[in-house]
Amino acid sequence: CEVFCSRMWRADNYFYYAYAVGRWDPHCCPRYLRPEHYEALRSSAHRVALHHGPLASAAASRDDFTVASLLDSMDWMGDEQIAEQLAALLPHMAPAGRLFWRSFGVAVHSPVLAQLRPTLVPEQDRVGWYLSQWVARAHPPDAPVADPAEPSG
């Protein structure tokens, strides 16, 4: 009941509010829908590029990604797939770039992700479904390079 009762059905959880009532509410909506953020969003809209396809082809489109939000995709991949995704993405991240992901697990489940030395984000995720959120530097100092050919433990 913890996930359902105390995380998902919070009064400010706009993810489920919109599903339940079929509309956004001015007091329960994402920040980008609030009037005070409209001008900032409008003035930066030209910086948004949509991509439909694999992460690797999106990553190759530029070399200055500052944040890559992987959502929960890493939960659904084996270590070899995670290593392949990161090998495609990391070379295209800015020097101070960061990776963010959320997980249904309470610990980092992959040794490939663990090599990034992620930090647990202490706040609960906005969706209220995931049990942990992680952030890691895309280029941590002295991090070993993942080898997808090596079996995981």
Which tens digits make up the pLDDT trace of 53-110? 888 888 888 888 899 989 888 899 999 999 999 999 999 999 999 999 999 899 999 9
CA-wise closest residue to 139 among 107, 106, 95: 95
**Structure confidence at residue 114 (pLDDT):** 94
**Structure confidence at residue 153 (pLDDT):** 44
Average pLDDT, integer, range 39-49: 89
pLDDT band at 3 (very low <50, low <70, confident <90, very high): low
* DSSP state for residue 48 in the 8-state scheme: -
**Structure confidence at residue 120 (pLDDT):** 95
pLDDT band at 9 (very low <50, low <70, confident <90, very high): low
**Structure confidence at residue 121 (pLDDT):** 93
CA-wise closest residue to 67 among 114, 134, 125, 127: 134
pLDDT over 70, % of the chain: 84
